[in-house]
Amino acid sequence: MDLEKKANELICQAGRIAVACHLSPDGDTLGAGLALWHGLRALGKEAKVFCDDPVPKQYGFLPGQEEVSVYRGDWVPELFITVDAADAFRTGAIEPYLIQAIPCINIDHHASNPLYGTVNIVEGGASSTCQVMAAFLESIGVATNHAIATCLYVGLLTDTDRFSYASTTPETLRVAATLLGYGVDVATITQTIYRTNRLSHLRLLAEAIRGLALFDEDSIGVSAIPRSVFTACGAEKEDMEGIIYHILTVETLKIAVVMKETADGGQWKVSFRSKGQVAIDQVASAFGGGGHRNAAGCMVQGDLSQARQAILDMIREKATR
């Protein structure tokens, strides 16, 4: 029995279904999660979508985003479906429930995914979980509509950085073209996500650029944002979005690193991006994180000097060029 058939059987047997997005939600997890939520409701299921963190303002236009809530355990589903969660811990409050008797369908596109679900629909070569989700919804008999198409398109757009990554294949573009046929408002989506910024974001970007340090013949760029800088800019979590891509535009860089100190200090949330054939996923994995060849992340302990040195040492050991 193929995976889609097994997944469809679990969905058919379940009346209450919980859709779990990952922590610090991006366009792909929200797009996939909300598209699935719309689809499950169309199939007559009692479905709810959960995420520990709020929906970023830039995704406030997604149909159904107001339904996203934190899982409290007081509503017991008959099936969990995780979307774009490379590891179970990325589901936050839902993680403890995934090891219980309730079945789980794990839908993802991270090659590092350890296949923690009862059924695992994981395609490591896909551009995004929304690309995987488009095919999955079709396989379980969900008819695409404007709301579903909008959600899926946002995931395709954002996880390929506007179809610019090497993961963008002819199939990716075919899926996107099909979604546009349902009236997706490309201009408004692009304006909202990529061309609208809070002043606090621009202030944070300026500080990130000002603090950029270059290493290894200017091929590695590291920018650290301490708590004090983050607070002085009046920034919120979503203001970090996109900063690393500005760093990566420096012509000599092959690898960009942005470190953000956590609110309680002594720990850094680290994002990695690389150009071309430079792979940094194993760097993040060495710190307990993960991701893709050219985009990954993790947490690193220590003060700024210690954490930065540990990151540089790991890049020099693990990154392939």
| Residue 58 near residue 167, CB atoms below 8 Å | no
- pLDDT (tens digit per residue) in 34-93: 999 999 999 999 999 999 999 999 999 999 999 999 999 999 999 999 999 999 999 999
Between strands 104-108 and 79-83, the pairing is: parallel
Taken in order of first residue, the domains within the chain and their CATH numbers are 3-194 (3.90.1640.10), 199-318 (3.10.310.30)
What does the alpha-carbon distance between residue 51 and residue 85 come to, in Å, rounded to a whole number? 11
Confidence of residue 100 (pLDDT cuts 50, 70, 90): confident
Are 132 and 126 contacting, i.e. CB atoms less than 8 angstroms apart? yes
The whole-number pLDDT of residue 101 equals: 82
Instruction: Confirm if 165 and 127 have CB atoms less than 8 A apart.
Output: yes
Average pLDDT over residues 154-176: 96
| pLDDT tens, residue by residue, 233-251 | 999 999 999 999 999 999 9
